[in-house]
Amino acid sequence: MQIDYDTLAQFVLAVHNRPPQPRDVTPEGLSFLMEAATARLQSLRAALRRQQDPCLDNFGRELHS
């Protein structure tokens, strides 16, 4: 597997707010980074949906009148 270390460094900084570490280039480390990025993306999407839809409360559930 060929790894672009500049891209990896930017990715780790964006997801974990830390510089990359040697363990990040292992298959397990890359898997962990991807899972964390996916979770963060889902969280950001949910936050955006809540801001755009006034019918959703703070937990993303629909409010019933």
The confidence score (pLDDT) of residue 32 equals 87
Domain range enclosing 24:
5-52
Confidence class for position 65, pLDDT limits 50, 70, 90? very low
Q: Per the domain annotation, does 63 fall within a domain?
A: no
Q: Per the domain annotation, does 57 fall within a domain?
A: no
pLDDT, tens digit (0-9, with 9 covering 90-100), for 6-57: 888 888 887 778 888 888 878 888 888 888 888 888 988 888 887 877 665 5
| SS3 per-residue string spanning 11-64 | HHHHHHCCCCCHHHHCHHHHHHHHHHHHHHHHHHHHHHHHHHCCCECCCCCECC
Q: Give pTM, 2 decimals.
A: 0.56
The confidence score (pLDDT) of residue 17 equals 81
Our count of domains for the chain comes to 1
